A and B are shown apart, each in its own frame.
Chain A
Amino acid sequence: MDVKPELRVFPNRLISEATAGRFFDLLRNVPNIVNVEYKGFTAHNNEDYRIGWIWVEMETEDEETVAAVSAVCDTVFPFGYDITRGRFSKTRPTTGDHLRALELRRNENYEV
């Protein structure tokens, strides 16, 4: 199976959606990037989403791409960040995912 390498970007502060948008816009100019995912959380009122983790999937792992992503981080995250190389998101559904799907199908009110 073809598993592509990823970079995990961990900003030292929780960022707003506007800042994240600026980061994603700048990443569009970087070649060799296949996909970008992010995760965050909201307050009780379900507004004001804050982003804490970003995963950047690359076609191949090379120093130029990592340097380009770091350069984008430098401009958007003046408070600092960490970049880790590896594979962090799922490449295929796990047993748990299958069970969750099964549970949803069993629920009458939910149409899959």
Chain B
Amino acid sequence: MKYKAQFVPGSTVISQNRKKYMDPTYKLKQLRSLSDEDIVLVLGHRAPGEDFKSVHPPLDELGEPDCIIRELVEPTEGAKAGDRIRYVQFTDSVYFAPITPYQRAWAYYHRYRGIDTGTLSGRQIIEARERDVEKYAKELIETELFDPARTGIRGRTVHGHAVRLDENGLMFDAMRRYMYDEVSGEVKYVKNMVGEPIDRAVSVGKPLADEELEKMTTMFRADGVSVREDQEVLDIVNAVHWGRTFGGYMSVNREGQ
């Protein structure tokens, strides 16, 4: 019998969005477009036009040992070339950001190969070979997983996801990496991910309207779609909670059920 992955429970728009973002066959909607140079400037791992630095010779020249796993797993482009490990990190505001850190991890694991990702309360880091990082970062910034105002590209001093927004609807950033351009209505990055000034401002487009964000988000909120409206999610959370409470690490042995 062939099963179809459900990814997460639930039928509300929030659950549907979670499923969509996690489903690798779903093509993320592209909302803005940035050049490769823009991405390099914002990430700040290398100067635009500079070659990728490597930590080992390309795999073709390396002469790998005979290994069934190496035959099974196709290396990523970055691994083939021997790139350094680099990262990109996003902060997601609690005020209806398109995606939240935890769901980023779920989505990344379904979509990307050769990565290591880490979740914290307000931010999500993704580590991979340098050219893979650039490819993934481009997709993550250009598509519906990113909002110029509610998502931040931040390597350090990430604080701000739970702070009130400013008057233009921008998430607080202690390093002022991005500015709201009142003339064009766009958000522009004037510093790279770690807060170093960059040669030219990089525009990441106009912030989305609140109504649009509420349709795109994966966040249950009392002032948006409450988790209590989704019975299936509540049932699953309940089952996990009771299994964990009564069974510990052996949830199959739980008492009373």
CB-defined contacts of A48 to chain B, threshold 8 Å: 176
Judged by a CB distance under 8 angstroms, whether B175 is at the interface is yes
- Say whether A16 contacts B166, CB under 8 Å: yes
Nearest CB on B from A74, distance (A): 16
Does A15 sit within 8 A of B, measured CB to CB? Answer: yes
Which residue on chain B has the smallest CB distance to residue A18? Answer: B167
Decide if B157 is an interface residue (CB 8 Å cutoff): yes
Residue among A11, A12, A44 making CB contact with B175, cutoff 8 Å: A44
Interface size counted on chain B using CB atoms at 8 A? 13
Query: Chain B contacts of A107 at CB under 8 A?
Result: none
Closest CB of chain A to B174's CB: distance in Å? 5
A44-B172 in contact given A14-B164, A15-B167 (Cβ < 8 Å) = no
Number of A-B contacts (CB under 8 A): 33
Let me know if A52 is at the binding interface, CB within 8 A.
Answer: yes
- The answer to whether B164 touches A43, judged by C-beta atoms less than 8 angstroms apart, is no
Q: State how many angstroms separate the Cβ of A6 from the closest Cβ of chain B.
A: 21
Q: Is there a chain B Cβ closer than 8 Å to A87's Cβ?
A: no
Q: How far is A52 from B172 in the complex, measured between Cα atoms in Å?
A: 12
Partner of A50, one of B157, B166, B195: B166
Which of B157, B164, B173 interacts with A12 by CB under 8 Å?
Answer: B164
Interface centre among B157, B175, B176 (most CB of A within 10 A): B176
Contacts of B176 in A (CB 8 A): 43-45, 48
Residues 72 to 93 of chain B near chain A (Cβ within 8 Å): none
Q: Mark A39-69, 1 if CB is under 8 A from B, else 0.
A: 0000111001010100000000000000000
Across the interface, which residues of B come within 8 angstroms of A12, CB to CB? 164
A12 to B164, CA, bound (A): 7
Give complex CA distance A48, B174 in Å: 10
- Residues of B contacting A11 with CB < 8 Å? 164
Q: What CA separation (Å) do A12 and B167 show in the bound complex?
A: 9
Is B39 among interface residues, defined by CB-CB distance under 8 A?
Answer: no
B167–A44 contact, CB under 8 A? Answer: no
A13-B165, A15-B166 given; name 17 further pairs at CB < 8 Å.
A11-B164, A12-B164, A13-B166, A14-B163, A14-B164, A14-B165, A14-B172, A15-B167, A16-B167, A43-B173, A43-B175, A43-B176, A44-B174, A44-B175, A44-B195, A50-B166, A50-B172
Listed in ascending order, the chain B residues whose CB lies under 8 Å from chain A are 157, 163-167, 169, 172-176, 195
23 chain-A/chain-B pairs, Cβ below 8 angstroms: A11-B164, A12-B164, A13-B165, A13-B166, A13-B167, A13-B169, A14-B164, A14-B166, A14-B167, A15-B166, A16-B166, A16-B167, A43-B173, A43-B176, A44-B157, A44-B174, A44-B175, A44-B176, A44-B195, A45-B176, A50-B166, A50-B172, A79-B167
